[in-house]
A and B are shown apart, each in its own frame.
Chain A
Amino acid sequence: EADIYQTPRYLVIGTGKKITLECSQTMGHDKMYWYQQDPGMELHLIHYSYGVNSTEKGDLSSESTVSRIRTEHFPLTLESARPSHTSQYLCASSVTGAETQYFGPGTRLLVL
């Protein structure tokens, strides 16, 4: 059982607001990821972290930013939300040497 948590689970917010999506894992995994998932579409990687103070952008361009100050915590921030940011955001983690990733429950974001 993977112990990876995301809050909030659902968020409805107006255009221009700053938002932070939280992701935490209690497994001590060094690698963490953010994916974006639109209905009927593939998951696309938007951010990746090898470990504390390490972040990289993924293959899908995103206006969001991330930080990794603690191993267990990998928040994603949108400085000014727009309707085009409406999507589901999934956080995942893995440990170096392991074969796969474990996902959180996701945050569904709706920007009006």
Chain B
Amino acid sequence: QKEVEQDPGPLSVPEGAIVSLNCTYSNSAFQYFMWYRQYSRKGPELLMYTYSSGNKEDGRFTAQVDKSSKYISLFIRDSQPSDSATYLCAMSPYSGGGADGLTFGKGTHLIIQP
């Protein structure tokens, strides 16, 4: 079993829809949770960061962490064609990733249809 599971998609939704992206994980030591957005042929760009359980909102984006279920989510409201990208979840027991780096999911390919 991989440490982090993420559905690779593709996930295709119409413009304006609410998008829900999810990851599950098995390592209960993970405390730091991140979502990165990666456009084709680019490096990952940090979108959201959350420590431990709870919600965090930034504009159209909301990140949720449920440590009891080992489940994290990213919600995108009023989705735009420019949101089309691959979304990577990442996590670590340590602030900044530590010596093991960050543990990533495979990424979900999101397509927003105009």
- Residue from A2, A56, A96 within 8 A of B96 (CB atoms): A96
A98 interfacial by beta-carbon distance below 8 Å: yes
Interface size counted on chain A using CB atoms at 8 A: 30
Bound form: Cα–Cα A97–B104 in Å: 20
B46 touches A100 (CB 8 A): yes
A94 touches B43 (CB 8 A): no
Given known contacts A48-B101, A95-B96, A108-B41, A100 and B4 CB-to-CB distance under 8 angstroms: no
Residues in chain A within 8 A of chain B (CB atoms): 2, 6, 31, 33, 35, 40-43, 45, 48, 50, 56, 58-59, 90, 94-106, 108
Q: What are the nearest 8 A-B pairs in CB distance?
A: A45-B101, A103-B43, A94-B96, A43-B104, A42-B104, A105-B43, A103-B44, A106-B43
Residues in chain B within 8 A of chain A (CB atoms): 2, 4, 8, 32, 34, 36, 41-46, 49, 51, 88, 90, 95-97, 99-107
